[in-house]
Chains A and B, each alone.
Chain A
Amino acid sequence: MAAVTTGSGAGSGAAGSPEATGGSTGGGGWRRPHGPLQRYYGPSTAEAAEAPPDPTDINGPHFDPEVFMNKVRSECPLGQLLAREAALGREIRALDSDMQTLLYENYNKFISATDTIRKMKVDFRHMEAEMDDLAANMAAISASSARVSAALQDRHRRGAQLAGVQALLRKLQALVEVPGRLRRWAGTEPARALRCHARARAVLRHYRHLPSFRAIEDESHAIMADLAQRLRTRLREETLDPKELIECVEMLLQLEEPAEELSEEFLSQAGARLEAELAALEAELPAADPSGTATTPPPPASDILDFVDRGSSAFVGTLCQLAGSYRALFGGDTGRLEPFAAALATRYFALLERRLALERGLGDTSLLVRALDRFHRRLRALLELLPAGADAAAALVARAARERVDRYLRALQTFFLGCLGDVRQALAAPRPPGKEGPGLPELLAQLAASVLGQLKAVLAYVQLFTARDIAFASLPYFKGEFCVTAVREGLVVAFVRWLCRTARGFVDGPAERGAPAAPPALLLLLARLCLDYENSTISYILTLTDEQFPPQDSGPAVTPGPALCAEARAAAQRLLDHYVQVQGAAVAQMLRKSVETRDWLGTVEPRNVRAVMKRVVEDITAIDVQVGQLFEEGVRRAQSSDSSRRAFSVYSSSRAPGRYAPSYTPSAPMDTHLLSNIQKLFSERIDIFSPVEFNKVSVLTGIIKISLKTLLECVRLRTLGRFGLQQVQVDGHYLQLYLWRFASDERVVQGLLDEVAASAAHRCLDPVPMEHSVVELICERG
C-alpha cells in the first residue's frame, strides 16, 4: 500500500502513461488488476521465457491482432465469431469505464497532497524559533550543574577516605582480638585456634616492625607455643585414642613443630598404644614358661577365632590406621615406619604363634582355618604397608597348617593304636562256649573301615585349609607344597609308612625278651591288612589324596605308590612269616615237650594215638580255619593218585630202608647208607623257616614243616625201645592221615614223616616195626 502511495507520490508525472498502457493492454484481464502493474515493475523474464510467445493471447504481451484475426477467422465458425465479437465489445466497454474511474480517483489524491505540503511549510517557521530558546536554556543548566559539582568534590573525597580507615580499623580490631580468641579457643577448640592463627600469622609477620603488632604477634606466639606445649603434653598422655593422636600430631605439624621429632614422638606414642594392645592379647595367653616345667597350661579362655578376631580388629586395625596416618602426616618417608611396624608385627606373630601352640587338641579345624583366614585377610591391609611381613605371615599360616597336619597324623596313629587295642581285646576276650565272637574277617573289615574312615575324615578336615573361599589357600605354598609335602607325604604317606612300621613292630619288637607278644591272630590280621593296603587301599588313598589335593607338576618329588606298596608288602610278608613261626613254634613246643618227657624205652605197646598228636591236628585245623578266614586257599601241587591213601610206614619210604637196613642186612650197611645220601642229593632241600606265600596252603605248609622238623630233631635226641618206635610209627601215620590235606605239597609232609620214622628206627634199640594194618586200625580208632 505504502509502495503504491510512494510510487504514486514520487512519480506523479509519469503516472499517466503506464496507466494508459495498462488500460489498453489489460482490458481483457481486469479481474486481476495488479497483474499488468506487476509485470511492469518486475518484468519476469523467466515467466516470459517459459511460455512461447503466443500472438493469439489477447491478454499476452506479444498479441498480434492480425494473427489473432486470421486465426479466429480461419478456425472458428461464424456463430462463434459472432459470439466472440460481442464478448470483445463488452470487455472493451468495461475497460473504458474502469479507466475513467481510476483517473478520477488519482487526481483527487494529488490535489489533497498538494494541500498538505503547503500547510507544512507554514508550521516549520514557528518551530525554528522555539528550538533556539531551548538551546539557550540548556547551556544555562549545564553551567550551574558544573558549579554544584565543583562545590561537592572535596566532601566526597573525605567520605571515601573515612570508609577506608574504617575497614582498616576493623582489621586491626580483629588482629588485636587474635590473642584473646586464641586464648579462648586454645583450651577448648585448638583446631579453631589454629585456623585463626594461620589467618593472622601472615599479617602479623608483615607488620612485625611495628611495636604494637609485634606485641600482638609475640602474644599470639606465646599462646601458640603454649598450645603446642599443651598438645605435646596431650600427645604424651596414655589414654589418647589413635584418632585423637592423629589430630594432635596434625595440629602440631601445623604449628610448625619439627617433623622429625614429631614422627618420633608419634611412633613412640603409637608404639605404646600398640604395645598395650599386644599386652592385652598376651594377657590371654598363659605365662610363658621358659623352664618348661609347667605340665599342661590351662585351656585358653577364648577360642582361637575369638583371639584372632580381637587381635586383628584391635591390633592390626590400629596399626593400619596409625601407619596410614603416618604416611599422610609425614609424607612418603617410611624409613622409620617400616622397622617400627615390622618389629610390632613380628611380636604380634610371635603372640599368635604362641596362641596357636596352645591348640593342642584337634579341636575344631574349621575354627582354626577360619581364624587363620581372618588373620590372613586382615593382615593383607597391613602388608601393603609392610611388604616384608608377607613372608612371615605366610610362613606363620603355613606352620600352623603344618602343625595341624602333624597333629592329625598323631591322632590317626593314636586312633589306629586304639583300634588295634580293640581288636586285641576282641581277640583276647573269653568267649562263652558255643558262642563265636566276631570273626577275623569282621574284625579286619571293621578295622580297615574305621581306619580308612578316619583317614578320610582327616583329609576332609585338612582340605579346609585349601578351600576355595579361604584367602590364604591361594598362596603358592598351599597350592603346591602343602598338598604334596604336608598332606600327601607328611600325612598320608607317613601314616601308611607308620602303619607298616607299627605292624612290623609286632614282629621285631616285643616278641623277644619276654614282653607280651602279639597274639597270632593279630599278626594274621595285620598281615592281611598290610596286604590289602598293598593291593588296593594305598592306591585308593593316594588317588583320593591327589584328587583332593592336586599336586603341582613342578612340585617336590612324591613317594610313588609302588614304593609304598612294596613297603606294605614287605610288612605283610614279615608278619605272615612271623605268624607261621609263632604258630609253628607253638605246635613244635608241644611236640618237643611230648617227646622229651616221655620214657621211650619203657613204654608199653601202643594202643592209641598219643593225645598230643590229636591236639596237634586239632590246633593245625584251628589254624587252618583261622587263616582261611583271611586268606585264599592257594594252589596245591597236583596230587599223585596214590598219595592220599598212601600208608605211612617205615617201609614205604624209599629212604627208610637205607637208614634201616643195618639191622637186617648188616653185611652191606655202607651201600644203603650211601644210597640214602645220594638220594638226598636229588631231593629238594626243604627250608623250614622260609618265607611263605599269601595263601592258606602256604601258611599251613610252613607251620607243618616247622612242627614236623621239630619232631624229627627231638626224636633224634632220644633212644627208643621197640614200643617207642611203634608209638612213633602210629603217631606218624596219624599225622600223615590228617595233615596232608593242609599242605601245598603232601610230599613235603610225607618226606618229613619218613625222616622221622627213619630216625626213630635208627634210634631204636630193638627196631621191630608194627604191622601196618594194626597201625591203620589204631589210627582209625583214634
Chain B
Amino acid sequence: MDLCILLPPIPYICYTLLLSCEARALTPQTAETDAIRFLVGTQSLRYDNQIHIIDFDDENNIINKNVLLHQVGEIWHISTSPADKGILATCYNKTSDTKVMTCAAVWRMPKELESGSHESPDDSSSNTQTLELLCHLDNTAHGNMACVMWEPMGDGKKIISLADNNILLWDLQESSTKAVLSSSTALEGKGQLKFTSGRWSPHHNCTQIATANDTTVRGWDTRSMRQIYCIENAHGQLVRDLDFNPNKQYYLASCGDDCKVKFWDTRNVTEPVKTLEEHSHWVWNVRYNHSHDQLILTGSSDSRVILSNMVSISSEPFGHMVDDDELSDQEDQHQEDKIKEPLQDSVIATYEEHEDSVYAVEWSSADPWLFASLSYDGRLVINRVPRALKYHILL
C-alpha cells in the first residue's frame, strides 16, 4: 500500500511520497515541537480512507510512515490539537446513495503513534491501526462542515467549526469525549454565504477568527460572535484560504481563484497592503512561516508551490537597522549586512514537483525551515527553505 520515491537531492532537499489515493487534507502535528511530523488524510469513495502519519528524520533524510484507518469517510480537512499530540479533528464526507454530508469528529490516535513510530517502514503497512473516536461535532442542524480550527496556543479544549453559513464554537469536555456547542452564529444575508475556510488568530488572546465566504473575508470576535471587520471583494473570485501573520497582529493573508495572494491590514481593509500574482491558477492555500513571517508558502492548482519572501511587510526589520554599537564591535557583520540589504520582496523558489493540483501546503511545527505540500494525486513533497536564504535570515 505504501510507496516511497526518493528523488535525487537537489540544492534544497525534496522528498516525494506517493500515497495510493487522492488526498487534499494535510496538517502538521501542531503539538509536536521536536519531530517533523505531518498528517495526511486521503480521499477515496470506494476504499477505507486513511490518515498517514509522515515522520521525517531530518538527520538521516528518511521518511517513516504510519497509517491509521479512517473508515467513516473521505477526509476533506484535518487539524491537530495544539495541546495534545494524540488528538486530531477531521471533516469527512459521509455518503449515502442520495446524499453527501460533511461531518466533523475529534479523534485520538493510538498512544504509540503519538510521538512517532520507530518501526521499520516495511511492516507498517500490515500494521494499520484504527483511530479512536472521541466525539462527533453534531452538525445535523447546521449543514456541511468546511473546517475545524483549534484554539491556537490553547489547551486543546476549544474548537471552532465552520458549517455552511454557521460558525460553531465548541467546548471539549471530559478529556475531549464530549463536545458541547458553547456558542454559534450564522451569517445572514443574500448571495453565497457558505464558508469556505477560516483561521483562528493567535493574537488578541485568541479572541478573533477570520472566515472566508465567496469573495469576502470577515473577521469575528469569538466572545460576542459578532463580525468585527469585513473585506468585501477581497478577491475577484472565490477566496480559498486565509492565514494570520504570527508576529503582526493585524496582518492577514488571503488567496483565491483570481490567482492572487493578498496581504491585508485588518485596520484598513479598503486596499490590500500587497498583492502577489505568481500563480497561473487558483491559489488554494497560503501559509505564513510560524517564526519568520516574511516566508510565505502558497499552493495552487497550477501544480506549483511557491515560496515567497515578503520582507517589506514582515515583522523583520526591513532594510538596515542594526545598532551602531554592534557594528563597531563586529566589522564582519557589518559587511554581511551590507550584502543582505538588497533583499527585496521576491519569489524565492517555485517548486514544480507536483503533477496535479496542490490543495494543501503546511510548514512543519517543529522545524521552521521545512514544509510539506500535497497534491491531489497523493504526492506529498517535503522541501526545505534554500540554505542560503536560511542563513541570510538567521545571520
Residues of A near any B CB (own CB < 8 A): 511-514, 585, 589, 601-602, 662-663, 669-670, 673-674, 676-677, 680-681, 685, 687-690, 709, 713, 716, 719, 721, 762-765
- Given the interface pairs A512-B236, A713-B357, the reply to whether A765 lies near B280 with Cβ below 8 Å is no
Name the distance in Å between B236's Cβ and chain A's nearest Cβ. Answer: 6
User: Interface digits, B347-381 against A, CB 8 Å rule (1 contact, 0 not)?
Assistant: 00000100111000000000000000000111100
Bound together, the chains give a CA A680 to CA B236 distance in angstroms of: 31
- A763 to B45, Cβ gap below 8 A? yes
Given contacts A663-B46, A681-B355, A764-B45, contact A514 B232 (CB under 8 A): yes
A602 and B98 contact, Cβ closer than 8 Å, known pairs A669-B20, A674-B18, A763-B45: yes
- Known contacts: A512-B233, A680-B356, A762-B22. The answer to whether A709 contacts B99 by CB under 8 A is no
Q: Point out the residues of chain A lying under 8 angstroms from B271, CB to CB.
A: 513
Please encode chain B, from 269 to 302, with 1 for each CB lying within 8 Å of some chain A CB and 0 for all others.
Answer: 0110000000111100000000000000000011
Q: Out of B233, B281, B303, B355, name the residue touching A514 (CB < 8 Å).
A: B233
Query: Which residue of chain A lies nearest to B375 when distances are taken between CB atoms in the complex?
Result: A677
Tell me if B97 and A721 are in contact (CB < 8 A).
yes
Set of chain A residues within 8 Å of B237, measured between Cβ atoms: 585, 589
Inter-subunit contact B46/A709 (CB<8 Å) = no
Q: How far is the CB of A494 from chain B (nearest CB, A)?
A: 28
* Cβ-defined partner of B236 (8 Å) among A585, A601, A673: A585
Residues of chain A within 8 A of B259, CB atoms compared: 689
Q: List 24 A-B contacts (CB under 8 A).
A: A512-B236, A601-B95, A602-B98, A670-B1, A670-B3, A673-B20, A674-B3, A677-B18, A677-B355, A677-B379, A685-B303, A685-B352, A687-B302, A688-B301, A688-B302, A689-B259, A689-B279, A689-B302, A719-B45, A719-B93, A719-B95, A721-B97, A762-B45, A765-B45
Within the complex, the shortest CB–CB distance from B278 to chain A, in Å, comes to: 11
Interchain nearest-CB distance for B157 vs A (Å): 32
**At the interface, is chain B mostly helix, strand, loop or mixed?**
loop
Is there contact, CB below 8 Å, between B379 and A687? no
Q: How far is the CB of A688 from chain B (nearest CB, A)?
A: 4
A-B residue pairs, 6 tightest by C-beta: A680-B355, A688-B281, A687-B280, A689-B280, A514-B233, A719-B100
Which residue on chain A has the smallest CB distance to residue B2?
A670
- Name which residue of chain B comes closest to A690, CB basis: B280
- Cβ of B97: which chain A residues have Cβ within 8 Å of it? 601, 721, 765
- Docked-complex contact A662 and B3, CB < 8 angstroms: no
Q: Which of B1-32 contact A (CB under 8 A)?
A: 1, 3, 18, 20, 22
Residues of B close to A688: CB separation below 8 A: 280-281, 301-302
Let me know if A670 and B98 touch, CB within 8 A: no
Do residues A716 and B376 form an inter-chain contact, with CB atoms below 8 A?
A: yes
- The number of A-B residue pairs with CB atoms under 8 Å apart is 76
Bound: A512/B262 CA distance, A: 12
The listed residue with most A CB atoms (<10 A of its CB), out of B45, B97, B376, is B45
Q: How many residues in B have their beta carbons less than 8 Å from beta carbons of A?
A: 37
Output the nearest chain B residue to A669 by Cβ-Cβ distance: B20
Q: Tell me whether B46 and A662 are in contact (CB under 8 A).
A: yes
The smallest C-beta distance from A252 to any residue of chain B, in angstroms, reads 75
Q: How far is the CB of B166 from chain A (nearest CB, A)?
A: 19
Compute how far the CA of A673 lies from the CA of B280 in the bound complex, rounded to whole angstroms: 26
Most chain B CB atoms below 10 A, which of A662, A674, A719, A721:
A719
- The answer for the CA separation of A663 and B376 in the assembled complex, in Å, is 19
Q: Which residues of B contact A687 (CB under 8 A)?
A: 280, 302
In the complex, A513→B272 CA distance in Å? 10
Task: Report the separation of the CA atoms of residues A689 and B236 in the bound assembly, to the nearest whole angstrom.
Answer: 14
Which residues of chain A come closer than 8 Å to B377, judged between CB atoms?
A: 673, 676-677, 680
**B22 cross-chain contacts in A, Cβ below 8 A:** 762
Q: Which residues of A contact B356 (CB under 8 A)?
A: 680
Task: Give the chain B neighbours of A764 by CB distance below 8 A.
Answer: 45
Tell me which residues across on chain B come within 8 A of A676, comparing CB atoms.
377
Are A670 and B282 in contact, CB atoms less than 8 angstroms apart? no
**Complex contact A713–B282 (CB within 8 A):** yes
Across-interface contacts of B100 in A (CB, < 8 A) = 601, 719
A137 to B184, CA, bound (A): 179
User: What is the bound-complex CA distance between A663 and B47, given in angstroms?
Assistant: 10
Residue of B with least CB distance to A513: B233
Cα distance, A115 to B279, chains bound together (Å)? 169
Write out the residue numbers on chain A whose beta carbons fall within 8 Å of the beta carbon of B95.
Answer: 601, 719, 765
* Complex Cα gap A762–B22 (Å): 9
Bound Cα distance from A709 to B280, whole angstroms:
11
A739 to B384, CA, bound (A): 42
| A contact residues around B280 at 8 Å (CB) | 687-690
Give per-residue flags for B110-127: 1 if the beta carbon is below 8 A from chain A beta carbons, else 0.
000000000000000000
- Which residue of the partner chain B has the closest CB to A593? B192
> Which has the most chain B C-beta neighbours within 10 Å: A512, A514, A687?
A512
Do A713 and B99 contact each other (CB < 8 Å), given the known contacts A513-B233, A669-B20? Answer: no
Question: In whole angstroms, what is the CA distance A589 to B258 when docked?
Answer: 12
Q: In the complex, which residues of chain B have a beta carbon less than 8 angstroms from the beta carbon of A765?
A: 45-46, 95, 97
Other CB < 8 Å A-B pairs besides A680-B355, A764-B45, 10 of them? A514-B232, A602-B99, A677-B379, A680-B356, A688-B281, A689-B259, A689-B302, A713-B301, A762-B45, A765-B46
Bound-state CA distance A95–B20 (Å) is 187
B165 to chain A minimum Cβ distance, whole angstroms, is 15
Residue in B closest to A706 when the chains form the complex, CB atoms: B281
1/0 contact string of B227-261 vs chain A (CB within 8 Å)? 00000110011000000000000000000001100
Complex formed: what's the CA distance from A764 to B100 in Å? 12
Separation in Å of the B369 CB from the closest CB of chain A? Answer: 27
Q: A77–B379 Cα gap in the complex (Å)?
A: 178
What residue of chain A has the Cβ atom nearest to residue B100's Cβ? A719
